[in-house]
Structure 1
């Protein structure tokens, strides 16, 4: 469980340290701005910054039923965060599987990528994409 939150904890910790340094140097405005940016980064990279994850089996069943793509991701992945932020409100149209939370999801990614756990990996009924552009994934959801 800690592994899933570690990137956010590190970013928040670095942010708190830097804000303290800047406040002690009298750079209050910079400290406030950077504090907000570090806090936003910690939220975006946290598991809470993504739609609720489901298991690989649930995602496959739901995708077969509704035709929506499956996104395999992991917390702390900057490419996953970029995809999530770029999709905005459309992110909820996808089925999200956290490969650190679901070993079957990690195995599915290794099957697609030839043994690596490269994320984000997007799987549709007929194709799969490793680290696809947000535009491509947006087109798949419409």
Structure 2
């Protein structure tokens, strides 16, 4: 779980250091703006940007019941972030599995990615699709209804 927060914490730490330096030099407003920018970047790269993750077993069970795709992701992944942002409000309709929080999810991804943890990996009807186009994922979501 802690691994998911390393990158966002580094952004906040770096922003704090830069903002402190600027504030000590008398640029309070500039320091505050820099800190705000780093906090926003940290928020975008945090697990908070994604819908609540569930375990791989539960996601596969739910997907079998409702036909919705399962997305295996991890925080800090720019391709996962791109998928999440391009899906917009539809993202909450997918089943999301954070591979850094769920060892079974990481194992499922490694199994289909030649031992690598390549994300996002989207399972549609039990078939894996590695780093698919967000538009295609949206189509799969619409066809599962």
**Normalised by the size of structure 1, how large is the TM-score?**
0.88
- What is the aligned partner in structure 2 of residue 15 from structure 1? 15
Q: Report how many aligned residue pairs link the two structures.
A: 142
Tell me what 2:82 maps to.
Answer: 82
1:117 is matched with 117
TM superposition shift of 1:93:
0.8
In the alignment, the residues of structure 1 paired with residue 125 and residue 21 of structure 2 have an alpha-carbon distance, to the nearest angstrom, of 51
- The answer to whether the aligner puts 1:43 opposite 2:36 as a matched pair is no
Q: Distance between the aligned counterparts of 1:136 and 1:87, measured in 2?
A: 10
TM-score, length of structure 2 as denominator length: 0.86
Distance 2:134 2:33 in 1: 28
For residues 90 and 25 of structure 2, the distance between their equivalents in structure 1, rounded to whole angstroms, comes to: 43
Shift of 1:58: 0.5
Residue range with higher mean Cα deviation, 4-13 or 37-46: 37-46
Per the TM alignment, residue 138 of structure 1 is displaced from its structure 2 partner at its CA by 2.1
Q: For residues 4 and 129 of structure 2, what CA distance do their matches in structure 1 show?
A: 23
Alpha-carbon offset, residue 34 of structure 1: 3.1
Alpha-carbon offset, residue 27 of structure 1: 4.6
3-state SS of the aligned residue for 1:128? strand
Unaligned runs of 5+ in 1: none
Output the CA distance in 1 between the equivalents of 2:49 and 2:41.
10
Partner residue in 2 for 1:137: 137
Superposition CA RMSD, Å: 1.8
> For the residues of structure 2 that align with 1:78 and 1:85, how far apart are their CA atoms?
10
